[in-house]
Chain A
Amino acid sequence: MLARLLALVADGRLHTPGELAAELGVSTELVEAMLAELQRHGDLAPAPSSCHAGCTSCPMNGACARAEGSAAGATPLRPAAPRPPRS
């Protein structure tokens, strides 16, 4: 199931946990748990901050902050850098 989840999110598109849950036929909560596990394991990483301190005039800065997790407690994830092979 985890491999299927990784394959689903690796298509280069923007995904939401709800949409991934529908694809996998499981609950959104389970997808969120799996995403958290993939993040702990290092397969996914929080996306870097995109909001700039000087961007207060941007009408989208609310959306930007939300995407960064400060507003909704959500952390956008992206694939982590490849890990070195096991030593």
Chain B
Amino acid sequence: MSPDPSARPVTVALAGQPNVGKSTVFNRLTGLNQHVGNWPGKTVEQKTGELVHNGTAIRLVDLPGTYGLTANSEEERIARDYVLRERPDVVVAIVNAAALERNLYLVAELLALPSPVVIGLNMMDVAASHGVRVEPEVLEAALKLPVVPLVAARNQGIDGLIDAALRVAADPAAFAPTRPEMRPAHRPILAAIAAHLEAVLPPPYPTSWAALKLLEGDTEIAALVRERAPEAWKEVHALLLQHEDAYLDIAGGRYEWIARMVRAAVARPRAGAVTVTDRIDRVATHPLWGLGLLLAVLAGVFWLTYTAAAPLVALLGRLIGGSLAGAARDTLSSGPPWFARFVADGLIGGAGMVLSFLPILVFFFALMGILEDVGYLARMAFVMDRFMHRIGLHGKSSLPLFLGFGCNIPAVLGTRIIEDRRARLLTLLLAPLVPCTARLAVVTFLAPAFFGELATWVMVGLVSLNMVVLVVVGVTLNRLAFRGAKTAFIMEMPLYHAPNFRTIGLFVWNNLTSFLKKASTVIVLVSALVWALAQWPGPGMQHSALAAVGRALAPVGAWLGLGDWRFIVALLTSFVAKENTIATLGVLFNAGEGGASLARQVAAALPPSAALAFLVIQVLFVPCVATVAVTKQEAGWRWALAGVLLLLTVSLGLGVVAFQLASRL
């Protein structure tokens, strides 16, 4: 049917948020009859087109994709100015049926403008595939405006959409939709501002709409009023300053309106994955059961790591300390004797012994990788946050502290998410109290040597001690000096899903290569240095520089039951990297005794009470030099030093307590 050449074409504006299929609708309707240019004076693309529908000529204008209509962006200004200035006969709002909660906000804003609105409910197929059931007729009844279901990609419903748009354009007076409402508290203010604007606002801005936008903090309307009516602006500005919270009320009113519409017209049958996630989360994120589960999971990780790795660690220890060191001695026997000793006792006995950690790290990283990949790690952080909040610590401290289980460095860096300085400093000080992988690996190596069958319980006890100390120190410092402002933090919880073993394998591999890099550089250097200082000036290790240092610290060692200076030196070298405890013990014991496995030698060198004190100090001792350097970078020398002194005091103090108590048992 040909259009009446004398009739004015009906102007239809297409509005919508980005990625809702608006362009698809525009292209389906206009085909090749479209013009592409720029909006006047702007760099934003403008698309217009013509079509004839059942004998009616239509001019279609594609508005830029926007989330709202406040002057936050060029696109939002263009879209709303077009509707205000050009007054299209009807605005067709294309919304994504699968994300109505986000999309209806723009509709709420469009309803405040003078043109009538029709909704094109696009992506009905996507919504259905997501299990979202949207009832267009119910939404239409709730909104009191036409709602047309579409699948624009398959050209379904588009004719019906244009039919509805033309019906509304033909009788705009009948358009009476359900609009969002402001809370009663702010309605008189809106009326007062509108009254001030009545005689001064230039066309085409409706006064009630401009008043609403001013209360929302719209900078463009504010500049317009200030420029055109300075006297009225003074009054309006005074009112705005008194009601800076009005934005929350206005936007909140829109979301209440959206919630009502969605509640009426949308049903979300729960997908299987969501139901499983919800069911697990009822326990995993419960304030009490969640904490119990977290402790059980951590205990399980340590138990599994120890049970699976311990035999392999012992085997590797024998191979490296015995066979490999022996082979090195034999191979190098023709060279200088000191060089053979250096390689066998210094490098292999030290850095090589650290390589026996590998099974521990493989199992630990694999278990942590599985926990991360199935989605449980985020729940651990959530439960820890709840717990910390209950004991008065800053809730946002939990995430960085949680990172400390891997390595204290990201824990320190992670405190950047805390904007309150006092809370951040407190978290910086507490971060090294979380036992990192390196410390846990050292303890996993030594605990079976010292305590045999009881090793798992000793390890769980040591980690629990770490947590108790962290809480006590945190609460004390928080009460004394670091009480800070409360701030929010919102994070997504991933759905639980089956682990991807390739991802976990890569995760383990990346962590192992990083460990091997450290073992082949820092730990090799420290092992070489320790070996050299254990020989020099001599004769023998008992007359070495290292022995002199160890003996100088003997009074401190005596409080802890550490009569053997080699343990004191091992602790000192752990400042460079925590693994050096084992590397140093490897060098010093192999150099002194030779033959027997390191585990048996260290166990024979200390009574159980002193061994417990040594492990307590090991898990609480001053952070490694890299962590101190990062702390200095984040907070300065003063706080880095304060952290070192704090941990030195706590570790030595609790080491003494552990020794004294264990000696009396």
Separation of A44 and B467 alpha carbons in the complex (Å): 32
Q: Beyond A12-B396, A14-B395, is A3–B490 a contact (Cβ under 8 Å)?
A: no
Instruction: Determine if A54 and B244 form an interchain contact, defined as CB atoms under 8 angstroms apart.
Output: no
Q: A55-B409, A59-B406, A74-B492 are in contact. Are A50 and B248 (CB under 8 A)?
A: no
A59 touching B369, Cβ below 8 Å: yes
- Bound form: Cα–Cα A69–B515 in Å: 27
Q: Flag if A18 contacts B493 (CB, 8 Å).
A: yes
> Chain B 235-250, CB within 8 Å of chain A: the 1/0 string?
0010011001101110
Return chain A residues, CB-CB under 8 Å to B255.
Answer: 1-2, 30, 33-34, 37
> Is A50 in contact with B101, judged by CB distance below 8 angstroms?
no
Q: Which residue of B lies closest to A14 (CB)?
A: B385
A37 contacts B105, C-beta separation under 8 Å? yes
A59-B217 contact given A3-B245, A17-B492, CB 8 Å threshold: no
Instruction: Report the bound CA distance from A74 to B222 in whole Å.
Output: 34
Given the interface pairs A50-B410, A64-B403, the reply to whether A35 lies near B488 with Cβ below 8 Å is no
State which of B217, B237, B406, B490 has its C-beta within 8 Å of the C-beta of A16: B490
With A86-B240, A86-B244 already in contact, the answer to whether A56 and B510 are too (CB < 8 A) is yes
What residue of chain B has the Cβ atom nearest to residue A12's Cβ? B486
Chain B interface, number of residues (Cβ within 8 angstroms): 78
Instruction: Decide if B394 touches A12 in the complex (CB within 8 Å).
Output: yes
> In the assembled complex, which residues on chain A have CB atoms less than 8 Å from the CB atom of B100?
29
B275 touches A (CB below 8 Å): no
Q: Judging by beta carbons under 8 Å apart, are A33 and B385 in contact?
A: no
Distance of B4 from chain A, by nearest CB (Å): 44
Query: Taking the complex as formed, is B623 at the interface, i.e. its CB lies under 8 A from any CB of chain A?
Result: no
CA distance A63 to B378 in the complex (A): 7
A6-B241 CB under 8 A given contacts A58-B410, A63-B372: no
Enumerate chain A residues within 8 angstroms of B381, measured Cβ to Cβ.
14, 63
Measured CB to CB, the nearest residue on chain B to A58 is B406
> What is the CA–CA distance of A48 and B237 in the complex, to the nearest angstrom?
34
A13 to B419 alpha-carbon distance, docked (Å): 14
Contact B491 A16 (CB under 8 A): yes
A-side interface residues, number (CB < 8 Å): 60
Indicate whether B135 reaches chain A with its CB closer than 8 angstroms: no
Is the CB–CB distance between A13 and B389 below 8 Å?
A: yes
User: Using Cβ atoms and an 8 Å threshold, which residues of chain A touch B403?
Assistant: 50, 58, 60, 63-64
Q: How far is the CA of A32 from the CA of B103 in the complex (A)?
A: 12
Stretch at the interface among B114-122, B256-264, B338-346: B256-264
Partner of A13, one of B68, B105, B386: B386
- Contact (Cβ within 8 A) B514 A57: yes
CB B198 to nearest CB in A, in angstroms, measures: 21
Set of chain B residues within 8 Å of A60, measured between Cβ atoms: 368, 372, 377, 402-403, 405-406, 410
Contacts of A33 in B (CB 8 A): 99, 101-102, 105, 255, 258
B251 within 8 A of A: yes
Q: Considering only CB atoms, which chain A residue lies closest to B373 in the complex?
A: A62
Chain A residue contacts of B661, Cβ below 8 A: none
Asked if residues A49 and B416 are in contact (CB atoms below 8 Å), the reply is yes
B487 in contact with A12 (CB, 8 Å)? yes
Known: A33-B105, A86-B237. A56 touches B514 (CB 8 A): yes
CB of B489 within 8 A of CB of A40, answer: no
With both chains docked as a complex, state the minimum distance between the C-beta of B17 and any C-beta of chain A, in angstroms: 11
State which of B105, B244, B259, B417 has its C-beta within 8 Å of the C-beta of A85: B244
Tell me whether A62 and B372 are in contact (CB under 8 A).
yes
A residues 1-38 in Cβ contact with B at 8 Å: 1-4, 6, 9-20, 26-27, 29-30, 32-37
Smallest CB separation, A4 vs chain B (Å): 8
A77's partner among B489, B493, B518 (CB-CB below 8 A) is: B489
B407 at the interface (CB under 8 A from A): yes
Tell whether, in the assembled complex, residue B486 and residue A15 are in contact, meaning their CB atoms are under 8 Å apart: no
User: Given the complex, which residues of A lie within 8 Å of B396, measured CB to CB?
Assistant: 12, 14, 78
A30 / chain B contacts, CB cutoff of 8 Å: 101, 255, 258-259, 262
- Report how far A17 CA is from B485 CA in the complex, Å: 22
Contact A41 B251 (CB under 8 A): yes
A1 to B413, CA, bound (A): 35
Q: Give the one of A49, A58, A61 with max B CB within 10 A.
A: A58
Q: By the criterion CB–CB under 8 Å, are B105 and A44 in contact?
A: no
Known contacts A17-B490, A36-B102, A63-B381; decide if A27 and B248 are in contact (CB<8 Å): no
Q: How many angstroms between the C-alpha atoms of A42 and B417 in the bound complex? A: 17
Question: In whole angstroms, how far apart are the Cα atoms of A54 and B507 in the complex?
Answer: 15
Of the listed residues B364, B381, B489, the one surrounded by the most CB atoms of chain A closer than 10 A to its CB is B489
Contact B406 A61 (CB under 8 A): yes
Cβ-defined contact, B488 with A10, below 8 A: yes
- When chains A and B are docked, how far (Å) is the Cα of A48 from the Cα of B340? 52
CA–CA, A41 and B405, complex, Å:
36
Q: Closest A-chain residue to B377, C-beta based?
A: A63
Contact between chains at B490 and A76 (CB < 8 Å) = yes
Within 8 A of A (CB), among B355-380: 364-365, 368-369, 372-373, 377-378
Q: Which residues does chain A contribute within 8 Å of B364, judged by CB atoms?
A: 59
Q: Contact flags (1/0) for A70-87 with B, using CB distance below 8 Å?
A: 011110111101000110
In the assembled complex, which residues on chain B have CB atoms less than 8 Å from the CB atom of A67?
378, 399, 491
Chain B nearest CB from A14 CB (Å) reads: 4
With A36-B102, A50-B414, A64-B414 already in contact, the answer to whether A78 and B491 are too (CB < 8 A) is no
User: How far is the CB of A10 from the nearest CB of chain B, in Å?
Assistant: 5
Q: What residue of chain B has the Cβ atom nearest to residue A3's Cβ?
A: B248
Given contacts A29-B99, A59-B365, A78-B487, contact A52 B237 (CB under 8 A): no
* Cβ–Cβ < 8 Å partners of B511 in chain A: 56-57, 59
* Sample of 18 A–B contacts (CB below 8 Å): A10-B487, A10-B488, A14-B381, A14-B382, A14-B399, A14-B490, A16-B493, A18-B493, A27-B266, A37-B67, A44-B488, A47-B489, A56-B514, A63-B377, A64-B414, A74-B494, A77-B489, A85-B241
Nearest first, the 5 A-B pairs at minimum CB distance are A12-B486, A74-B492, A57-B514, A2-B252, A9-B488
- A residues engaging B (CB < 8 A)? 1-4, 6, 9-20, 26-27, 29-30, 32-37, 40-41, 44, 47-52, 54-64, 66-67, 71-74, 76-79, 81, 85-86
Sample of 9 more A-B contacts, CB < 8 Å, known A16-B493, A76-B492 = A47-B417, A55-B410, A57-B511, A59-B511, A60-B368, A62-B372, A64-B403, A78-B396, A85-B241
